[in-house]
Amino acid sequence: MTQDFWSRRKAKVAAETEAETEVAVAEPEMTDAEVLAAFDLPDPDTLIAGDDIKGFMAKAVPDHLRRRALRRLWRLNPVLANVDGLVDYGEDFTDSAKVVEHMQTAYQVGKGMLTHLEKLAAPPEVVAEDADEEPEEAPVQIDATVTAYAEIETELDEAPAPRRRMRFEYQQEVAS
């Protein structure tokens, strides 16, 4: 291995494109009518309901002819083009029965929720209309019930401190 991965990859891609060009040169360009005649297929634009399009699904048929046949099939039978309900977001979210009236969102197209979050993060504006005047000091009122509770002392029964270690006591019977 004298070359690194990317050098080998680049050489492989170049070899693939060269092989494709050789195949393209070997095969003369055929018109759509010639390709359809070679595969014995009808013109995709003349298909009618009930026609079999399996021949267009062969790998040898050019992709643009396959797509033309599928488009014609979908136009003939619109049921085939409808969503089968297995799509995650296949529901109709514009149904007026499911829409909440006057629903508002903070999300703005192209801006996201940035402006709403900026308003929340901004410090509140302080209105200083009477900045020259000093606020009047309100007289301090002391609640009599609060002082009465503070003066009452309660005597708590102090329980003995819990033992920190386990102690076992054995009673021995004295043999006489």
Q: How many CB atoms lie within 10 A of CB 44?
A: 21
Q: Does pTM top 0.85 for this prediction?
A: no
Q: How many CB atoms lie within 10 A of CB 135?
A: 6
Rounded Cα gap, residues 8 and 1, in angstroms: 10
Q: What is the pLDDT of residues 67-99, one digit of tens each?
A: 999 999 888 887 777 767 677 766 666 766 766
Q: What is the pLDDT of residues 125-170, one digit of tens each?
A: 766 565 556 666 766 666 555 555 555 555 566 777 777 787 778 8
Q: Give phi and psi for 112, each to the nearest 5.
A: 70, -145
Contact 30, 51 (CB under 8 A): no
